[in-house]
Amino acid sequence: MSKYPQTREEYRAAIMFQIYQLVQAVEADDPGEYNNTQWVARNLHNDVREYFNADRWRPRPIYDGIRARVPLETPLSLLITYHREHDHDNARFVQGRLVEISPVYQPRDGAMFKIIPKGCRNPRTYSYHAGWGASLTIWPGHVPQTGKVGVKPLYDHEAQR
């Protein structure tokens, strides 16, 4: 769980609490060294902007589907294939343990995967952006890149070419 609000209800609760803090600070009228009125007002301003940001609350079906079907802390095989003309069918294939799934930058749908590759200790980040001429396939376990035909994928998203 993040310490920052993630849902509209959490943002609403944070905004109400910040309004309460701001009113308390204004009523106290303390110009002392530890007066945090400007900090509270700045946070309130930013949270209100996020609460009313329509792009933030737009549904993200690909990210939600990945979160629902792909379990964390399990071994998997991930294949991201780019079909754009300048990528020349470039593919990224990685086998490892999935540590974290997070959404990509807000206007787009997709996911960022933090994976510890097989034989490594530190996680690496791989991102998939839907609608950028790329397809994504995720298999359970360590599936070899050549023998992946017989295994049913956990998640498969084919891009429009």
Q: Where are the domains of the chain?
A: 8-51, 61-157
Is residue 66 exposed (0-12), middle (13-18) or buried (19+ Cβ within 10 Å)? Answer: buried
The mean pLDDT of the chain is: 85
pLDDT at residue 38, rounded to an integer: 86
Instruction: Quote the tokens at residue 140.
Output: 């359970």
Please tell me the pTM assigned to this model: 0.67
Q: Specify the range with the lowest mean pLDDT, choosing from 56-65, 67-76, 78-87.
A: 78-87
Confidence of residue 94 (pLDDT cuts 50, 70, 90): very high
| 14 Cβ neighbours under 8 A, 6+ residues apart | 5, 47
Q: Count of CB atoms within 10 A of residue 143's CB? A: 22
pLDDT at residue number 87: 58
The residue behind tokens 């998203």 is 157
Can you give the pLDDT at residue 18? 94
Inform me whether the pLDDT recorded for 151 exceeds 50: yes
pLDDT attached to residue 85: 67
pLDDT of 1 over the 50 cut? no
Strand ranges across the sheet with 75-82: 124-129, 110-117, 91-103, 75-82, 134-140, 155-157
Dihedral (CA of 80, 83, 85, 90) sign: positive
Residue 96 has a CB neighbour count (10 Å cut-off) of: 21
Question: What average pLDDT score do residues 31-37 get?
Answer: 74
Instruction: Tell me how crowded residue 130 is: count the other CB atoms within 10 A of its CB.
Output: 20
